[in-house]
Amino acid sequence: MNSPVTIEVPTYAETEPAERRAQGRHRRNLVIGAVALVLVAGLGWRYFHGTEAAAAPPPPAVVQVAQPLVRQVTQWDDYIGRFAPSRTVEVRPRVSGAVMQVLFKDGDYVRQGQPLFVIDPRPYRAALAEAQADVASARSALALAQSDYSRVAGLTGDEAMAASEVDARRAKLRAASAALAAAQARVQTRSLDVEFSTVRAPISGRISDRRVDAGNLVSGDNGAGATLLTTINAVDPIYFNFDASEALFLKTQREREGNKAPANVQIRLQDEAEYRWNGKLDFTDNGLDPRSGTIRVRAVVPNPGGFLAPGLFGNMRLADGGMVPAMLVPDEAVQSDQARKVVLTVGSDSMVTAKPVQLGPLVDGLRVIRSGLAPNDRVIVSNFQAAIAGTKVEPKAGRIAPKKPAEAASAPTAPIAAQATLN
């Protein structure tokens, strides 16, 4: 049996000449080296170029600077209070009965003496007629007693009557006179009942809503226990009540000793930018609250149109110290540095310096600086975020000017218990 024969076929790599294989490997090494050189060169260029660019200093920030605005201002003390009626009355009936008519609209402005409710007057008219009849009867009895007494009072001699008879007729005359007076008093009482059956406004003012409708029975007995019909608030003038400090109380007392005119106040409502309501102080309470150290004070404010209503809150300012010179800067230029307030200024070398200041009230959107600044300081008034103390800036001329009332009201400000106005 014949054995299998194995034939070996050589591969192409084995048949390729060794010299050609060596040349291919050399070419591949050259290509790889060139690519690596290009990558290293690119990374090096980016590294050195980026380092050079990062090392270049940024240009100085451009800011506007201006000297503080110096003006005469009137400083005010601020208070928050609430309006109250100058008079208020609870309308109650003075007679009992059924309500026949309601003669007003809820919330109307009513005049003193204006009819408001009509209570059924028929029982009181009948009682009045009865009292008037009693007066007529008493008057007749008085006339008879007067005639009887006149006949015996002038008799003398034999015609004279006993003294006891004369005295009896005199007493009868006096009793008849007293009975007539009592009947007349009852007529007056019944007349008042008829008059009171029409309930009238005791004062002029804004009336509330009706508490009873027509058809209801109301009671006029027991005074304050009578049925409440409605209320009326007098709102012209109107009061403004607020709590003041002991210092204001002492100031008011000094002015009263010097016979000075009551201090003027100005008030604005919560949705108003300007202090458009003017009034005068007219009352201080008779003692300070020992717990808070404050005293209740009242101002009276004209309100001819009835716009102001009791219960409204208002911001009131009271003149404090008259006109004083003051330096003013934009409120935005004041920055907080931990517990203190600072203003950034620019020196002659264009370096930024933070100066601690003491703040005063707001004046048309500008902040009064009580101390810490000089009139010739150059205050940064724009681009506050880019200005850092200890760095250089490029200053440009700016301007400080008061803001319009609407702008000043919309600008966010830190709360401070004082204000001022320019003069």
Residue 305 scores a pLDDT above 50? yes
Average pLDDT estimate for 247-254: 79
Q: Is residue 159 part of a domain?
A: yes
pLDDT for the residue 256: 73
The alpha carbon torsion through 382, 383, 388, 394 (nearest 10 deg) reads -80
Q: pLDDT of 267-289, one tens digit each? A: 999 888 888 999 998 888 888 88
Q: Which of 104-118, 220-234, 245-259, 269-283 is most confident?
A: 104-118
Number of neighbours of residue 112 by Cβ within 10 angstroms = 12
Least confident of 7-21, 54-68, 167-181: 7-21
In our burial notation (b when 16+ CB lie closer than 10 A, e otherwise), range 319-339 reads: bbeeeeebbbbbbebbbeeee
Do 130 and 194 belong together in one domain?
A: yes
Give pLDDT, residue 364.
76
Lowest mean pLDDT among 111-115, 132-136, 377-381: 377-381
Q: At what angle do helices 122-153 and 163-196 cross, to 10 degrees?
A: 160
Do 168 and 112 reside in the same domain of the chain? yes
* Structural domain count, the chain: 3
Range of the domain at 267: 79-84+232-321
Q: Please indicate, yes or no, whether residues 108 and 225 belong to a single structural domain of this protein.
A: yes
Over range 85-108, report the average pLDDT.
94
Does some domain include residue 14? no
Q: Residue 403: which CATH number?
A: 2.40.420.20
Convert the pLDDT of each residue in 53-71 to its tens digit: 455 667 888 888 888 988 8
Does residue 350 have a pLDDT over 50?
Answer: yes
Q: Is the pLDDT of residue 121 over 90?
A: yes
